[in-house]
Amino acid sequence: MAGLIPEETIAKVRNNVNIVNVISQYVSLEKKGKDYIGLCPFHEEKTPSFTVNEEKQFFKCFGCGKGGNVFKFLMEKDNLTFPESVRKVADFAHIDIGETGQSSQTSNPLIKMHQDACDFYQRVLTSTNAGKRGLEYAQSRELDDEIIAHFKIGYAPKQNNLLLTYLRGHGYSNDELAASGLFVQTQDGELFDRFRDRLMFPLSNESDYVIGFSGRRLSTDKTEAKYINSPETPIFTKSKLLFHFAEAKKAAREEGHLVLYEGYMDVIAAYKAGIKSGIASMGTSLTDQQVYMLRRITKNIVINYDGDDPGVHAEERAAKMFDKAGGFNIGIVVLPEKLDPDEYVKKYGAAKYRDEIKGALTPTDFFLKRLAQKYNLANDREKIAYLNDAVKEIAELSNPVEQDLYLERIAQAQNVSKDSLKVNLLRQRRINNAAQRHKNSGGPVGPILEDDSTPIIEAEQTTKIDPIQTRLLYLFMHSEHARDFLLENNFLFPDEKYADLAELWLKFSEEHENPTINSFLDFIPDELQGIIVSTEMTDMPQDFSDRELEEQMAALEMRKINAQLKDLENQLQDAKRKTDTNEIIAITQKILQLKRIQGQRGAF
């Protein structure tokens, strides 16, 4: 399982990396007791069930069942092989593992192809005459060498099928090329480059692997789309991707937030202005999947879409999505003069733009300002309508301090009594509470949500976790005395997978001078790893006695007898239906014999 990387190298990487630091690149973790918890990166949930144990260097999600060590995490999250995950962890920790670790790239041919395409487009832009047109456009948009390198910007030349020829030269098959989304395929199966005469923006996944592209039109031909994106492929789903996310989530730790933009150029403009935590939602409306991605990283989100009417409408929709998801601290920036971030930075400079981000409005401030623009506040009738709607907005807030703050603000702005607004607020809250009670009592009973905090045996778990066998396996692996006692008493685990683990541990212990559970995990089949992780993530007592071992073995023996009795009782019923006297006598004797043994075990 370890591939071509020597065991001592794997151990060196494992022992010099803290799993908490690696997983923190993907999940915002909070210390709770001895563990860290966060929202699972493998399935969507409302209440965190994803747990990382720093002492044992394991992770476990009690919602979807995935678990393991740091290598297993990257194998699951980035779809890597075991050697690839070791190399990636080594890269993360700046550990030189020699020739065996020369590349941390994935073995997925589509991802490799996209990286090759990215390199091709970049070289064309920066190093060839064919790319001169693209470079002149990039420079006209104030994209210097540093920005081009950081964002891996390239150029798809006008000439037909240069990328196709290049990638075929790298050994990719026609099926792989057709599946990549980089080409358009005719009905007779012929392939053509999808992107031509476009400035190319690579689209990377959360692990910073290029999985798609967006091409910006350079020609003045308005019949062509300004931007075209890669189609959805096995590796690229638009609704689950955020531009610059892999880089921005690292910057979020320092800047304290992520800033959400509409387009790539806005992210780049913000980056040039010193804001490294910018992301964009692929030029389309924000999706629930993208909201969940953000929630895993930070609760602090600043929304800065274009300042025109469509942009402000989009901000309103996004703010409502974040509010519905819950758990966010949202700031909203509306730039003056209907400017987008790129335009604002060019006109007013980086420092003033950073001030705009620092001065982001709360969602309530944003909605109240939007609401005020819908009314003629010089007209008393419209002012009263505005104040009624404003109070409805404030009544949705759960924090009394916030309610008081905004009541005070609109009372002063509209020259009305705060006390009169409070009366309206109390009335509106009673209406809201009555509506909520009606909804809770009159609506159909919905499904039990996955945010129930009670840990359960996972649906994904292929082997049911048996507490007795789990306890004995834990002692078998952690105590030489317990292991010798069980072996001397000829104990065999009844479940085949527990028995396989015990046998594999014996072999592993013989072959390794200082065997550890974490290193053992890397050398056993995937279907057995869940038992080990569940065992290690349980607060298992270290102390035990021979008496406990005897009682646990006796309990398993009693369980076996009970199963045999149940089976014999079913056989007895069948024999009685057939009035088979001899069979009835034989089965009854077996039942009596087992019950005598059962009685002796019980007396013990």
Residue pair 415/380 in contact by the 8 Å Cβ criterion = no
Q: Binning pLDDT at 50, 70 and 90, where does residue 455 land?
A: very low
Looking at per-residue pLDDT, the higher value among 491 and 3 belongs to 491
Whether residue 447 has pLDDT greater than 50: no
Token pair of 319 as six digits: 């703010």
Residues contacting residue 550 through CB under 8 Å, at least 6 positions apart: none
Q: How far is CA 491 from the centre of its chain?
A: 42
pLDDT at 99: 57
Residue pair 192/183 in contact by the 8 Å Cβ criterion = yes
Tens of pLDDT, residue by residue over 255-267, are 999 999 998 999 9
Q: Give dist(CA 122, CA 145) in Å, integer.
A: 11
Q: Give dist(CA 13, CA 100) in Å, integer.
A: 13
Residue pair 13/95 in contact by the 8 Å Cβ criterion = yes
Tens of pLDDT, residue by residue over 539-561, are 788 899 999 998 888 888 888 87
* Residue that has been written with the tokens 């519905």 in this structure: 324
pLDDT at 1: 44
Q: Give dist(CA 375, CA 366) in Å, integer.
A: 15
Q: Binning pLDDT at 50, 70 and 90, where does residue 600 land?
A: low
What residue spans of 60-131 are helical by DSSP H?
Answer: 70-78, 82-92, 109-127
Interior angle at CA 235, CA 168 and CA 197, nearest 5 = 55
pLDDT at 570: 82
Looking at per-residue pLDDT, the higher value among 286 and 451 belongs to 286
Give the residue from 465, 481, 485 showing the smallest Cα distance to 535. Answer: 465
Residues contacting residue 602 through CB under 8 Å, at least 6 positions apart: 558
Bridge partner residues of 183 (DSSP): 193
Whether residue 604 has pLDDT greater than 50: no
Q: Binning pLDDT at 50, 70 and 90, where does residue 590 land?
A: confident
Residue pair 92/22 in contact by the 8 Å Cβ criterion = yes
Tens of pLDDT, residue by residue over 26-50, are 999 999 988 999 999 999 988 899 9
Q: What percent of the chain has pLDDT over 90?
A: 54
pTM metric for this prediction = 0.73
Mark residue 3 as left, alpha or beta (left: phi above 0; alpha: psi -120 to 50; beta: remaining). Answer: left
Q: Give dist(CA 90, CA 352) in Å, integer.
A: 41
Q: Binning pLDDT at 50, 70 and 90, where does residue 68 land?
A: very high
pLDDT at 123: 97
Residue pair 476/483 in contact by the 8 Å Cβ criterion = yes
